[in-house]
Amino acid sequence: MSNLNKCNFCQNSAQQKCSGCQQIFYCSKEHQKLDWKCHKKNCQCFKITSNKEIGRFLSATRDIKPNEIILKEKPLIYGPAQETIPVCLGCNQEISTNNYRLCSKCQWPMCSEKCEANPSHLPECNFISKSKAKISPIPKHFYQCILVLRCLYQKQHNPSLWKKLNLLESHCKERQTTPGYYNEKVMATELIQKLFKMEFSLDEILKVCGIIMVNAHEVPLSEPPYVAIYEKTSMFENNCSSNCSKTFTEAGEILITSGVQIKKDDHLSICYADPLWNTTNRRMFLNETKFFWCTCKRCTDLTEFGSYFSAVSCQNKFDGGILLPTNDDENWICNKCNSTVPNLLVNSLLDKIGKEISDLDKNNVSKCKAFINKLKGILPSNNFHLVDVKLALSQLIGQTMGGLAQVSNEDLELKRSICEELIKLTETIIPSEKRVRGLLKFEHHASLAELARRSNKNNQQIKLILKESALNLQDCIELLKYEPKILPEGQICEQARKNMNDLSKFIIEK
């Protein structure tokens, strides 16, 4: 039988596939070892493909197990968000009003001399100091041009990076009709061209604005978060029930991991929007900022996999029905009695509840409980607004002085049941979103451990509750194991590891 596969090292016929990418072959282990230095940078479990609907996207080149690292990469470029409070252009942290200094060259406020010397600050510092523009204090809206300047700087100083940036999607045409476009045009002409006297064409500047809008990721490693553009990560398509999720290393690399079992040839996806927004808000956001109407399975299933996450309850008493949007875009219809309610009414109800939530003191257990009770019969239990408050409550109960030991039996049971309910919901609609589920698993473990402590059941039954608590801890550690220690999720993972040690000893002793 003829063998068409050639060894990646010696070109002789080969049979052993590289298990990392399943894309190339070797004639022997020895040649695989010798080739590794070269192949390492291309050994990945995905390839770039494209189609008409999505443009470029990634597909798996082999089966991928849940929680595998798919990609870790450094940013091409980073900087402050378009809308931000004043931040240091060296370390990205908020500028303290009584402890800052002006950069000796460009007069922009910085934390320290060390931050002034940070290479990330070089582009704008170079441009602005050359222009001799004297502005003090720096108006807040000036920050919107920093990342744009950092990108433009690469044209002359790092052409290969400039080329990589320019290969990314910018949706220049579609953006021309958006409200933000006018703003960016003013920024480009008044700030970049006139004040900072830069010789970039309007088209060039606006294309960079588009690239940032479509591809930048919010990085929560500073307060406030900064934004960064990553090359390969930009190729992940959106899915509101994605099969991958992202986190960051302390060094600012993005880390993409699988959340579920992925089959060879499946598309790899992350969620561009907040996966805990309702369908209307996710789709509007994606349309306004990424210029496509999402048609993922979650967006096209009005029940969102039977969860009714974006639905409202039918007000026909004793009906127990649920209202869902109809295809005519004018009415919502009850899944039991078929009565219809105009879109406008449902939307204004949801808006009103949304406003009440933004005014709600989410640090007050009684107020959160009262709010949830008030919405019973108005919203189904998995509705996104309710989920928002329940999530807050799942953390809040037991957070005050004395911890869970001081919580009433009723509140402890409430915490346990909310955690259980939300874990099930998130497993259904967003199985790859590990942060939220990791935190819920931790809280669930804590409530179970406290229930066991209070229990007057026999040793065997207590041991069963503790085992369930330990299983939650185990899941929490697995879900949060890639989170950096400087983020709360990383710290929870550390705590979970410690608790696991204690709990295992306790279970053995019992």
> Of the ranges 47-55, 218-226, 321-329, 449-457, which one interacts with ligand SAM (CB under 6 A)?
47-55
Query: Cα-flanking dihedrals φ and ψ of residue 462, to 5°?
Result: -65, -40
Site for ligand SAM in 353-372 (CB under 6 A): none
Report the residue from 32, 92, 120, 234 that binds ligand SAM according to the rule CB under 6 A: 234
Q: What DSSP letter does each residue of 62-107 carry, written as one string?
A: S-B-TT-EEEEE--SEEE--SS-S-B-TTT-PBPPTTS-EE-TTT-
Size of the site for ligand SAM (CB under 6 A): 19
- C-alpha 104/C-alpha 481 separation (Å) is 42
Q: Are 250 and 485 in contact (CB under 8 A)?
A: yes
Residue 169 as a binder of ligand SAM (CB under 6 A): the answer is: yes
Query: In the complex, what is the shortest distance from the CB of residue 89 to ligand SAM, in angstroms, rounded to a whole number?
Result: 25
Report the residue from 32, 84, 144, 215 that binds ligand SAM according to the rule CB under 6 A: 215
Query: Residue ranges of the alpha helices (H) in 159-318?
Result: 159-166, 172-175, 179-186, 202-215, 279-290, 297-300
Residue 369 tokens read as 């409980």
Report the residue from 76, 110, 152, 235 that binds ligand SAM according to the rule CB under 6 A: 235
- C-alpha 36/C-alpha 8 separation (Å) is 10
> Of the ranges 7-15, 73-81, 116-124, 166-174, which one interacts with ligand SAM (CB under 6 A)?
166-174
Report the residue from 82, 84, 238, 307 that binds ligand SAM according to the rule CB under 6 A: 238
Residue 335 tokens read as 């899944």
With respect to ligand SAM, which residue has the nearer C-beta, 70 or 393?
Answer: 70
With respect to ligand SAM, which residue has the nearer C-beta, 304 or 475?
Answer: 304
Q: Which residue is nearest to ligand SAM (CB)?
A: 55
CA angle, residues 276, 500, 486, in degrees to nearest 5: 55
Report the residue from 35, 116, 184, 237 that binds ligand SAM according to the rule CB under 6 A: 237
Residue 53 as a binder of ligand SAM (CB under 6 A): the answer is: yes
What are the residues facing 79 on neighbouring strands?
227
Residues in the chain: 510
Report the residue from 49, 55, 96, 104 that binds ligand SAM according to the rule CB under 6 A: 55
Residue 291 as a binder of ligand SAM (CB under 6 A): the answer is: yes
Query: In the complex, what is the shortest distance from the CB of residue 241 to ligand SAM, in angstroms, rounded to a whole number?
Result: 11
- C-alpha 391/C-alpha 309 separation (Å) is 14
Residue type, 506: F
Residue 290 as a binder of ligand SAM (CB under 6 A): the answer is: yes
- Whether the bond into 137 is cis, omega within 30 of 0: yes
With respect to ligand SAM, which residue has the nearer C-beta, 215 or 499?
Answer: 215
Residue 438 tokens read as 């990791």
Quickly tell me which residue has 């026909």 as its tokens: 316
With respect to ligand SAM, which residue has the nearer C-beta, 168 or 375?
Answer: 168
Query: In the complex, what is the shortest distance from the CB of residue 295 to ligand SAM, in angstroms, rounded to a whole number?
Result: 7
Site for ligand SAM in 365-424 (CB under 6 A): none
Query: In the complex, what is the shortest distance from the CB of residue 465 to ligand SAM, in angstroms, rounded to a whole number?
Result: 43
Query: In the complex, what is the shortest distance from the CB of residue 159 to ligand SAM, in angstroms, rounded to a whole number?
Result: 20
With respect to ligand SAM, which residue has the nearer C-beta, 294 or 439?
Answer: 294
With respect to ligand SAM, which residue has the nearer C-beta, 79 or 484?
Answer: 79
Residue 214 as a binder of ligand SAM (CB under 6 A): the answer is: yes
Report the residue from 43, 54, 135, 138 that binds ligand SAM according to the rule CB under 6 A: 54
Query: Residue ranges of the alpha helices (H) in 319-433?
Result: 343-359, 365-375, 384-396, 409-429
Residue 245 as a binder of ligand SAM (CB under 6 A): the answer is: no
Query: In the complex, what is the shortest distance from the CB of residue 293 to ligand SAM, in angstroms, rounded to a whole number?
Result: 8
Residue type, 244: C
Nearest to 421 by CA among 389, 466, 450: 389
- C-alpha 67/C-alpha 434 separation (Å) is 9
| Number of other CB atoms surrounding residue 494 within 10 Å | 13
Residue 294 as a binder of ligand SAM (CB under 6 A): the answer is: yes
> Of the ranges 106-114, 234-242, 254-262, 424-432, which one interacts with ligand SAM (CB under 6 A)?
234-242
- C-alpha 279/C-alpha 418 separation (Å) is 22
Query: In the complex, what is the shortest distance from the CB of residue 482 to ligand SAM, in angstroms, rounded to a whole number?
Result: 22
Longest CA–CA separation in the chain, Å: 79
Residue 175 as a binder of ligand SAM (CB under 6 A): the answer is: no
With respect to ligand SAM, which residue has the nearer C-beta, 187 or 216?
Answer: 216
Q: What DSSP letter does each residue of 140-196 carry, written as one string?
A: GGGGGGHHHHHHHHHHHH-HHHHHHHHTS---HHHHTTSHHHHHHHHIIIIIIIIIS
> Of the ranges 20-28, 48-56, 153-161, 338-346, which one interacts with ligand SAM (CB under 6 A)?
48-56
Residue 282 as a binder of ligand SAM (CB under 6 A): the answer is: no
- C-alpha 97/C-alpha 137 separation (Å) is 12
Residue 56 as a binder of ligand SAM (CB under 6 A): the answer is: yes
User: Where do contacts with ligand SAM occur on this chain (CB under 6 A)?
Assistant: 53-57, 168-169, 171, 214-215, 234-235, 237-238, 290-292, 294, 296
